[in-house]
Amino acid sequence: MSWHFVLTDCNPADNLKRGASQSELLDSALWFRGPAILLKNQHDWPESCLPEKTPPDFRKGILVGVSTKVDLPLKRNLVNSCQKMTHTFGFEYKFAHRKRRPGLAVKYVKMGTQMFIRCIQMSKLADDYWRLHSKQQISSSSPLSSLLPFIDSFGLMRVGGRLQNSSLDYNAQHSVILPRQHPVTRAIILDLHRRNLHSGPRALLAHMRLQFWPLGGRKTVSAAASKCFICFRAKPLLSQHIIADLPKDRVNATSTSMVTGLDTCGPFYYKTGVRSKVPGKTYVCVFICFATKAMHLELVQDLST
């Protein structure tokens, strides 16, 4: 098709755009008969208004501005599902590196996971990240100062430690640092919590540190695991028994040690003076007055009759 430019005065649609009334449309010849230039020869029609040449200041390129403060997982609203988040960034990593193989391989999921964790570190731990990136020492008040962190070849901030000579995996020797109280950190903890059959905070933290190092340690893991609905529903409610009334001797005034309670504590070990003999056991008998709480202690050498 051949496209031509139509002037505003010859365009019937512009009357509706400018809000023409019904009476104006009834009196408009342009609305009923169309533009008069169509009755002329085609050679007399106006030329196209598009420029024939490219402007001199036009550059063939794309400028992309990336801010280090942008938290990509939060922008995509993917923090509720760890699996969905890792698969999404796996496809993004595959698209960014122009991988044409169909499907989603495991290595793409792994590299995509490292990519979005790096974005989190650059946004939530920006000061420490760029200090390490520029070969500077981090502040002593930083929560990372005791971890001896470093940045690996991919750009992830990891724990230093002293386990390089161990037989552990590289991720276990130098775990990836995760910020405290972040939705992605909570999603990763809950995902590992479900995979490990809803284990407790200590076992979950030990398993998590084989790959990740959440700041805050057990408190962060406990706070995230407490949000598990399955564990909350399965937790039994303990029945609270009503305590019985106090006995008569406890609430009425009597003479001291008229009614006493007896208990034995121990054992305590003592030496008999003989070097070759093993230490013996001794006990303490405790007498407690019911009325005044007075206490009397006596030594008991054994528990025989």
- The residues of the chain scoring below 70 in pLDDT are 1, 46-80
pLDDT at position 11: 82
Rounded CA gap, 106 and 84, in Å?
14
The answer to whether the predicted template modeling score (pTM) of the entire model surpasses 0.85 is no
Region of 35 (left: φ > 0; alpha: ψ -120 to 50; beta: rest) is: beta
Rg (CA), the chain: 40
pLDDT value of residue 78: 60
Residue pLDDT, tens place only, 101-116: 777 888 888 888 888 8
Return the pLDDT at 287: 95
Q: For the chain, what's the residue count?
A: 305
pLDDT of residue 16: 76
At residue 69, the pLDDT reads 62
Give, for 126, the enclosing helix (H) or strand (E).
helix 126-133
Asked whether 181 and 220 are in contact (CB, 8 A), the reply is yes
Q: What is the pLDDT of residue 21?
A: 79
Q: How far apart, in whole angstroms, are the C-alpha atoms of residue 11 and residue 90?
A: 51
Query: Backbone phi, then psi, for 278, in 5-degree steps?
Result: -70, 155
In tens, the pLDDT along 27-85 reads 888 888 888 777 888 777 766 544 445 545 545 554 444 455 666 666 566 666 788 88
